Structure 1
Amino acid sequence: MSDTDSPWRTADFRVLFAASTLSQLGTNVSYVAVPLIAVTALDAGPGQVGALATLSTLAFLLIGLPAGAWVDRMRHRRVLIAADLARAVLYASVPLAWWTDTLTLGQLYAVVLLNGAATVFFDVTSQSTLPRLVGREALVPANAAMVGLQAVSNVAGRGAGGALVQFLTAPVAVVCTAGAYLASALQLTAIRHQEEPKGRNQKASLKAQIAEGLRHVFGNPELRALALTAALTNLGMQIINTMLPVLFVRELSLPAGALGLFWAAGGLGLLLGARCARPLAGRLGYGRSLGMAGVVLAPAALLVPLVDRGVWLWVAGAGWTLALFKTGTDNVLGVSLRQRMTSDDLLGRMNATFRFVLTGALALGAAVSGLLGELAGVRATLWVGGALLAAAFLPVFLSPVRARRELPQPAPVTAPAPQPR
């Protein structure tokens, strides 16, 4: 990689990366700690754990689409800082309630729902500001760095979350989450890029702008295929992840640290997939890399439902790692493709549309997981999630994406959406 296409030459990217490191660490610690609080302290069953996971992603369905249009109209640094501060306050309320013996499932439900709303704005804004900070030519290495960060955070954050819960109790783990979000907000104040929002002077209505973003994604066969594959991946992963705390802690009587390490193994696969994405694309092409990763690695997800004590824990962990390797590759190449197919003035709405679909799949997956867990049992639920994850590559494999060798040229700026009469 030459200096001209290295994102690390940009000071603002380094700031965003450092802040995202802290934010991801907090997110992954809470990913382990919150459901374990529900299961161990509040005696939550599979349906209640499923409801908790559903509420954590429901905000993307409620405000995901308008958030993209709002982000296109706002200064990105302010949105990122406000989102992190809101998440810090929300998570700080959980240990306070625990220590005063007033914590309820209702409060946990409210915290994860409102935290999800803040995350909507943080995620959409982060992906929308990245091309403006590093330039279009540095998108692939920048996305590889961000996906690699997510993977490392999965390993470190979820492993640390399991250890914190096991040795220092869940409230301490949630205090660490709140502190990480606060530190991220402080770090983001160092971003200097203050570009005037492109959407501020547009006269189009919010409804028209949202519709323009939807047409851009679902009217393009390549973007549509990328969205469908990512949605199926999220659906299968969430069905599995929602039931894992119940299976590990209640049915297998394994310690919280074991669950954290299992999730961390998936994070390692995500990291390796992100690191290998660019070399694979250089050798096979972007489309063939996405397709071949699905054919070769996606079936490994069918090993995850075999999780048990002893050797089967290692077999399932290997399957999880391979499945997440594919996801890491998909994330780097898929995000880079969709950013290059989208003009700057549509980035917020494109990212919001993807986040709406992808996180909507997470919400649906959590709800389905809780329902199946109650009606058919935990193990049957894992098989459903594994089957979906194994088949998720098909929309991209059967689409024009598979034939794409190189990244497309940067999309031109679109004309403003017409004002309704």
Structure 2
Amino acid sequence: MANSLLKHPDFMRLWSAQIGSAFGSRITRTVLPIIAILLIDADPNEIAILSALSFAPGLIVAFFAGGFIDRNQKRPLLIVTDLVRAALIFSIPLAAFFGSITMMQLYIVAALVGAATALFQIADNAYLPRLVEKDQLVEANSKLESTDAVAEAAGPGIAGLLVSLVTAPVAMMVDGFTYLWSALMLTRIKKQEPEKQARDENDNLLSDAIAGLKACTNHPVVGPILAAETLLAFFGGTYLTLYMIVGLRTIGLDPFTLGVIISLGGVGGFLGAMAAAPMAQKLGLRTTLLITLALGQLSNFFIPLAAAMPEFGAAFLALQQIAGDIFMTIFVIQALSLRQRVMDENLLARANATFQLTTGIAVTISALLAGPLTIIFGIAPVLWGAAIGSMLALPIMWLAKEEKAA
């Protein structure tokens, strides 16, 4: 079935839409702080708040939106979130043109775009199984993940180039058009979705969240994956907080060099996306999940090694970016495809929301703890602890029962 989806018109439209959305989200993430610094002269605390507002609303959306998405058609929600993001982004160059841009506007845009992006991601993961056949999910997720990897590698650089060539507000205009492109492609999808489900009188926000959690934890395969990914997110929050400190201060890299090293993760992600389906077909799904999880987490040991031996730090970080993203991309593609394949479609958005909520809470707690722990113990011991702790995901994943690879 190689390349079968290249002849699937509706998937190609979804893929085209995702290209716009993937690059748009990277441009937003890169250019918003640049505008805050260059046009408003924001201080470090204001930049920290801006970054937090880009992420935190996704947790709220994850808690409240799963049941709503499950009961409604997914494609209209995807289109609306794209249009909302475009409108919010266009407000920034408009305000800059009139000289009225403020930090409060950037806070509002960051929060609402973050919430809309979380809603888009949950609905998108629930929509894909309605668009393609179950045995095409790994191929579909591999193609979507490869685009995401390219966007992760090239998006920040494209954003920086746009800022240099046409100024930051104009770069945001380009960003807005990527979301309009995504909405346009989604409107051209022909396949009809089932009609929306009637809301039961017992349905409410809390019952929806509980239903999603139970659907995941009671499943013999999805339950261990949820536990493992939550654990990985918890220790991953440590890297989120300390990675830039290791690169810029401990090792002493300049921002450009560190940016190039980080972009290698996108290259690794692309290679992993290409290898996901062949590896599972050759080794089996359960073996693939266990091997890629093990190798992906072992690669994280290069980060404390970089802190402990800064003279080799750049090489260690480069190895971690490439190897880690190769193996973890394979793991993510196969784990997501499995979830889409085995979960009830009428509960899938709530299951996706459960994953987003639990991992989001875990990474937030860890990120907040990393700073105080580093002050007490030092950066290298905290990173060694995170690397060792993440390996506990392996025995959890071992509990997942065998499923047939797609």
Instruction: Please indicate the TM-score interval, normalised by the length of the shorter structure.
Output: 0.7 to 0.9
**What runs of 5+ residues in structure 1 fail to find an aligned partner?**
409-421
Pick which of 155-164 and 63-72 moved more: 155-164
- Give distance in 2, aligned partners of 1:250 and 1:103: 33
How far did residue 360 of structure 1 move? 3.2
Which of 155, 158, 163 lines up with 1:157 in the alignment? 155
Contact 2:24 2:175 in 1 (8 A): yes
How far did residue 243 of structure 1 move? 5.5
Q: How does 1:7-406 map to 2 (within 5 A)?
A: 7-38=5-36, 42-45=41-44, 48-98=46-96, 100-165=98-163, 168-200=166-198, 202-206=200-204, 207-241=206-240, 252=252, 254-255=254-255, 257-304=256-303, 306=306, 312-368=313-369, 371-372=371-372, 376=375, 384=382, 387-388=385-386, 391-401=389-399, 404=402, 406=404
Pick which of 137-146 and 198-207 moved more: 198-207
How far did residue 391 of structure 1 move? 4.0
Deviations 1:137-190 (A, max 9, x none): 211111111112211211221332343345555434333322211221122111
Number of residue-to-residue matches in the alignment = 401
- Give distance in 1, aligned partners of 2:322 and 2:208: 39
CA root-mean-square deviation? 3.3
Partner of 1:412: none
- Give distance in 1, aligned partners of 2:301 and 2:169: 34
Contact 1:24 1:153 in 2 (8 A): yes
Pick which of 328-337 and 383-392 moved more: 383-392
SS of alignment partner, residue 398 of structure 1: helix
Distance 1:284 1:76, change over 3 A: same
Distance 1:211 1:342, change over 3 A: same
Partner of 1:414: none
**What runs of 5+ residues in structure 2 fail to find an aligned partner?**
none
How far did residue 19 of structure 1 move? 0.2
How far did residue 97 of structure 1 move? 4.2
Pick which of 349-358 and 257-266 moved more: 257-266
Pick which of 321-330 and 234-243 moved more: 234-243
Deviations 1:218-255 (A, max 9, x none): 22343222123323434444543455567777995734
TM-score (norm 1): 0.82
TM-score (norm 2): 0.85
- Give distance in 1, aligned partners of 2:393 and 2:351: 19
Deviations 1:22-45 (A, max 9, x none): 100111222333344456663543
Tell me the percent identity.
28
- Give distance in 2, aligned partners of 1:238 and 1:162: 26
